[in-house]
């Protein structure tokens, strides 16, 4: 099973973490915010970027706090995905060791 990140190849690269954090806040606050094309584009781009890192380093990549926030928002897309389960575990293991 793979994550549903297809169709995001055309999205612009992430500008900065502040932009992603703001988009995430808007999306979490209301369904309308989540449907906003600008907000959606920012979050999809962030997800695509972080998932590419996980796939490139499936046994070692540890998401940043900001990446994990985006990943967590889209967690429904990764149900049962072994790479996602391992990435989530590495994140929490790394946090508990910090």
Rg (CA), the chain: 13
Classified as helix, coil or strand, 89 is helix
For residue range 34-43, list pLDDT tens digits in order: 999 999 999 9
Q: What is the mean pLDDT of residues 30-37?
A: 93
* Cα 65 from chain centre: 10
Q: Where are the domains of the chain?
A: 17-97
For residue range 76-98, list pLDDT tens digits in order: 999 999 999 999 999 999 987 65
What's the whole-model pTM score?
0.80
Q: Which residue has the tokens 């994550």?
A: 3
d(CA 84, CA 81): 5
Residue 70: enclosing H or E segment and its boundaries?
A: helix 65-73
């Amino acid at each position: 099973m793979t994550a549903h990140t297809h169709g995001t190849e055309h999205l612009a690269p992430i500008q900065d973490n502040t932009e992603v954090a703001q988009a995430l806040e808007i999306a979490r606050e209301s369904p309308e915010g989540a449907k906003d094309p600008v907000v959606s584009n920012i979050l999809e781009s962030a997800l695509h970027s972080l998932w590419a890192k996980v796939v490139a380093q499936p046994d070692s990549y540890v998401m940043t706090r900001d990446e994990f926030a985006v990943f967590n928002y889209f967690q429904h897309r990764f149900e049962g995905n072994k790479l996602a389960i391992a990435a989530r575990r590495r994140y929490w293991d790394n946090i508990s060791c910090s």
